Amino acid sequence: MIVLGIESSCDETACALVEDGHKVLSSIVSSQIDIHKIYGGVIPEIAARAHLDCFPAVLSECLEKASLSSSQLIDAIAVTQGPGLQGALLVGVSYAKGLAYKNQLPLIPVDHIHAHIYGALLEQMGEKEFSKEAGFFPSLALVVSGGHTNLFLLEDRLSFRVLASSRDDACGECFDKVAKLMGFEYPGGPKIEKIAVGANDHFFDMPKVRIHSELGEGRVASFSYSGLKTHIVNLVRGKDEVWWEENRARLAASFQRVAFEQIRWVVDQAMDKFPKVQNLIVAGGVAANNCFREQLTLVKRPLKVYWPKLKYCSDNAAMIAGLGYYQYQSTPNQFNPVGNWETYARFGSGLGKGDH
Ligand code: KG4
Ligand code: ZN
């Protein structure tokens, strides 16, 4: 089954064709970073207009790159329903609705945060391995990006239980804000990682964040990054260029170490709580960071960790098509090209609410 994925929740316009949930036939992402970086962050109205301009070209390139034969037709369309920027989502959903109606294809609404998890499976794990029969569940899944810091318990392919979510700034958002203080352009995460290589990551004392709402039965734990950000704002206040020259790399290294220790600490708690868990899927833009990858090797007992390929860490439409495929497999009769539009009207609903 071939699913066309459509993504427009933030500043990436993306289309992808994915076969059977994991084999990527083509994935095209058009980033708006150059448009937004002069403002230091994403401007929602500009993002929506840019999606409107970009979709036709992104879709044609996607279809061309996949070079489908006439027998390989698209079977369904999956589109990001939320959470994300309202105007940006509206463009993608309207575009997908039009395509689905014109071609009389089932339209599958997909949650962007859940879809990141499927991004880690693309081209790495097929339907057989990602199943109860193969003993894959229960597993943990982390989504760490510019808009979200979430830890889920995956009880089955489509059953997500939130174990922890962000109480204030998301992890990637904190990287971007700290990077801005250091004089780097948006998005700052990759720049912090680059400059920190080889620097002393214990040079600066950093606050250890231990939120009291610990993970427990029926309770959701929190990730928090605004205290860490404020600590750095205070630390660098009034510092001159000589200080920055000497300390920029040490500060980057110390910051990213504690930023990731917090996540490791919550994963450790989850492993205590769910001793049957053997696997951890890590996804979202921040999953590209090597220091993060090293931190997660230090969890309290061995876990098999699944990382997305670098091209599927950040926002893309292949992950949307991946999750759309599993949703369709589970309830094929629920999705149709006409009628039942109310499902698509609930922008930003469900998990991740409050993360934006
Ligand atoms: O998943 P994503 O593309 O978009 C959202 O859905 O938010 O994540 C983007 C975020 C940005 O905050 C960016 O700074 C961060 O991921 N990021 C990184 C790295 N690469 C991207 N953060 C730390 N280290 C990296 N190497
Ligand atoms: Zn995302």
The residue to mutate among 145, 255, 313, 355, having the most atoms of ligand 1 within 8 angstroms of its beta carbon, is: 145
Element (H, E) at 245: helix 241-273
pLDDT tens digits, one per residue of 122-165: 999 999 999 999 999 999 999 999 989 999 999 999 998 999 99
Give the HSE-up count for residue 223: Cα atoms under 13 Å, Cβ half-sphere.
35
Q: Is 119 in the pocket of ligand 1 (CB under 6 A)?
A: no
* Closest ligand 1 atom to Cα of 186: 14
Q: Is 308 in the pocket of ligand 1 (CB under 6 A)?
A: no
Q: Is 176 in the pocket of ligand 1 (CB under 6 A)?
A: yes
The residue to mutate among 293, 314, 319, having the most atoms of ligand 1 within 8 angstroms of its beta carbon, is: 314
Task: Assign 205 to helix, strand or coil.
Answer: coil
Q: What letter represents residue 60's amino acid?
A: S
Q: How confident is the model at residue 108 (pLDDT cuts 50, 70, 90)?
A: very high
Q: Is 289 in the pocket of ligand 1 (CB under 6 A)?
A: yes
pLDDT tens digits, one per residue of 127-137: 999 999 999 99
Q: Is 189 in the pocket of ligand 1 (CB under 6 A)?
A: yes
* Closest ligand 1 atom to Cα of 171: 12
Place of tokens 């920190």: 196
Q: How far apart are CA 341 and CA 55, in angstroms?
A: 21
Percent of the chain scored above 90 by pLDDT?
77
Give the CA distances from residue 194 to residues 124, 239, 253, 291, 345, in Å, rounded to whole numbers and listed in that order: 27, 22, 10, 10, 41
Distance from Cα 304 to the centre of ligand 2, integer Å = 23
Whether residue 340 is predicted with pLDDT greater than 70 in this model: the reply is no
Q: Is 190 in the pocket of ligand 1 (CB under 6 A)?
A: yes
Q: Give mean pLDDT, residues 321-341.
A: 83
User: Which ligand has the nearest atom to the CA of 11?
Assistant: 1
Q: How far apart are CA 31 and CA 86, in angstroms?
A: 18
- Whose CA is closest to atom 16 on ligand 1? 285
Task: Assign 159 to helix, strand or coil.
Answer: strand
Per-chain residues with Cβ under 5 A from ion ligand 2 = 145, 315
Give the HSE-up count for residue 141: Cα atoms under 13 Å, Cβ half-sphere.
29
Whether residue 353 is predicted with pLDDT greater than 70 in this model: the reply is no
pLDDT computed for residue 352 by the predictor? 34
Q: Is 151 in the pocket of ligand 1 (CB under 6 A)?
A: no
pLDDT tens digits, one per residue of 21-69: 999 999 999 998 888 888 877 889 999 999 999 999 999 999 999 988 7
pLDDT tens digits, one per residue of 79-98: 999 999 999 999 999 999 89
Whether residue 341 is predicted with pLDDT greater than 70 in this model: the reply is no
* Closest ligand 1 atom to Cα of 116: 1
